[in-house]
Amino acid sequence: MKHHQTLGALLKFAAIPMAALALNISDALAQNNLGPVTGKDVVYQILTDRFYDGDSSNNIPSGSPSSIFDGTGSDLKLYQGGDFQGIIDKIPYLKNMGITAVWISAPYANRDEPIIDYQAGGSQLIWSSYHGYHAKNYYRTNRHFGDMSKFEEMVNALHAQGIKVVIDFVSNHTSRWQNPTNNNSPEHGRLYEPDRDSNGNFVFDANGNPVDLNSDGTVDNLIADPNGTINPGWFHRIGDRGSDGSRYGYRYKDLGSLADFTHELPEVAEYLEDAAIFWKAKGIDGYRHDATLHMNPAFAKGFRDAIDSASGGAVTHFGEFFIGKPDPKYGEYESFPDRTGINNLDFEFFRTVTNVIGNGSENMNALANFYQYTAEDYAYENQTVTFIDNHDVPRFLRVNSDTRSLDVALALAMTSRGIPNIYYGTEQYVNGQDGSENGGRVFMHTDTTFDQTTRAYNIISDLSTLRQQNDALAYGMTSILYSNSDVLVMSRKFYDKEVIIAVNRSPFATYNVPALATSLPNGTYTDVLGSALDGASISVSNGQIAGFNLGLQEVNVWSYNPSLGSNPKLGDMQSVMGHAGNNVTLFGTGLDGAIQVKFGNTTANVISNDYNSATVTVPTVTAGQRQVTVAKGGVTSNTFDFEVLSDNQNQMIFKVEAGTSAGQQVYVVGSIPELGNWDPAKALDAFHNPNNNDWFLPVSVPKNTSFEFKYILKDGSGNVTWESGSNRTATTSTDENGVIDRAEDFFRY
């Protein structure tokens, strides 16, 4: 076992020793990917089982119970038949829609046993793990979707058409380990892996599928069991969160009775990192991380860092931090990308658009306000992933059955800052069987005809083309030119490139918009949507847009797209956090030719570059936030902030006994950037105190590093109380996945 001590009474977990893992996954060369997903992209979210059945032979794989398969689209609790081949078959449909990235269900093996919910009257509901959120074996595919060779064929086929691949990845939990409908009786939650050879390496056949090397009749070998004797300590096993709304409850208790991983164990962190890197080597372009709200951020930061440090360079990361205003965890939500390097699905955008365009509980001024406050709250608002509905919420048409309102919301998502994500079937006006999230997960194969002439389909196509052509949508700042209760006119601008969007949400009233000041050149600008939403042209003269009328539910998109010339300009960067030796990509214009990229004053090695992008290696430079610039021909670009980490990240668990006043919380600050370089404002994660005055927090720290630190108290107004005495000292583990569990300290008043 790696260097680790248990948290004792605070968490009550312990690991059971296991054979050493000798994985070579991190050494595998990644297949060529297309690069990170950026604001130029349009993502299409596919629940693989619910899209299209391209191969009926895998509908009920050998050994899989027929009771968990439906196939008609009627019982949405069961598998329906969608698979990797189905995605391949529909690539032309995706391409014609302007889709440049797909986010698919977790591709690896899930629990395949029926999930039984016992009902009060004695009946039973049977569920399956079609959604991919019940991890069982990270090293083989879900057989309902196809084998590994088919997965790789799908990735290659999508890449050949310029479509990037993001996989759902679940590192928070396995499957349900206790059945809450049967007195919390033991259920599953078990984790398996393939057979290993004498050197401890997994064994796969020529098609990438596990081999039954030990001839025991299965390729699944039990590695951890929350209800058994094999590594039960890999799971917290504290019980379901229920009504516990504390940060501790969210991070350490079970989500829906799903077996919650002990991310504070080095064995668990290493196993999950290796599993994610295994899939990176298949050539994928990014990860959607499930349940980031429920994860230990110290683990999440090291997890992302390990993935991006592996062969293939930095990829896209975004996660499900399912929260929004006025929830008290909004502060955690908006700071999660800063703390971990994993961006958010923009639930605040979803909440606002739902209220403004969906149920009408807020007006268009609220949307205008949203763009302004998130520009302050989000460090990189153009990297958030926006959506109007997805698999965890009701279909938009269940909130507002008017398809024209959906078109308005869709146009806003496609032109707003961030990366738009389209939930499969939205372009076909799918509204689901009911208003639940599961009711919205229809089988598109049987529910639609994949019509390429719907208005929504063509709105996506037209605005995807604009996103790729005009960098104002991908990288631009947002300015509100005008708003009232029903109307919003906004500008997206990147240097001289500009897109103006004018929307009237009302189906009852038209509006006259007054003349508006603008930097657009004189001329006439036509609606990019070709009047699909009743848009018209505008005229600009002497720095003013002439007043215009907005009809019922009218949307206009006007574009000005001049060349920005050869001088370098930065619009985005993936990733925005990493350490020396990581390969990261810059995006913008004028990045071709003989360029010099600097992190602060230190020059980086340029691996490759063209007019719109440059991939570079992070140089050896003092850790902390560094401004990245590109110079060419004596001209230096604008700056882009990058957080340089001190080294590979592992964890240290700080514990302190501290009495606090109402509203006070405990934090730690110290002499390294990961601890804020003594700046209390950079201490963003408060300690947990499930046991009165006993506070603890796992913190992401650089490996093999000695540093000084102190505990502080902060109240809700930001007032800081430092503990007295000399600085404390600590040294981190030498292992990349090591964990130092410190003895409890006492706050010095």
Amino acid letter, residue 368: A
Bridge partners (DSSP) of residue 221 are 193
Q: What angle do CA 317, 254, 304 make, to 5 degrees?
A: 20
290 part of the active site: yes
3-state secondary structure of 39: coil
Could you say which of 168, 290, 572, 647 is catalytic? Answer: 290
Check: CB of residue 235 under 8 Å from CB of residue 172: no
Q: What is the DSSP string of 151-203?
A: HHHHHHHHHHTT-EEEEEE--SEEEE-EETTTTTEE----EEE--B-TTS-B-
**Cβ-proximal residues to 734 (8 Å cutoff; 6+ apart), any chain:** 3, 703, 704
320 part of the active site: yes
The helix or strand, by DSSP H or E, that contains position 273, with its residue range, turns out to be: helix 266-280
Q: Is 378 exposed, middle or buried (0-12, 13-18, 19+ CB in 10 A)?
A: buried
Q: What are the C-alpha distances in Å from 356 to residues 349, 369, 487? A: 10, 12, 11
Check: CB of residue 78 under 8 Å from CB of residue 128: yes
Dihedral of CA 453/454/455/458: which sign?
negative
Q: Give Rg (Cα) of the chain.
A: 26
Dihedral of CA 259/265/267/272: which sign?
positive
Bridge partners (DSSP) of residue 202 are 196
The tokens 């360079």 sit on which residue? 313
Token pair recorded at residue 725: 């005495």
CA 61 – CA 79 distance, rounded (Å): 11
By C-alpha distance, which of 680, 612, 613, 599 is closest to 642?
A: 599
Amino acid letter, residue 519: S
Dihedral of CA 85/90/92/97: which sign?
negative
Could you say which of 320, 332, 407, 736 is catalytic? Answer: 320
Q: What are the C-alpha distances in Å from 232 to residues 18, 182, 253, 269, 716? A: 11, 21, 15, 15, 38
Q: What angle do CA 411, 414, 420 make, to 5 degrees?
A: 140
Q: Is 80 exposed, middle or buried (0-12, 13-18, 19+ CB in 10 A)?
A: buried
CA 312 – CA 29 distance, rounded (Å): 7
The tokens 């071709």 sit on which residue? 592
Bridge partners (DSSP) of residue 489 are 482, 502
Which residues are known catalytic residues? 290, 320
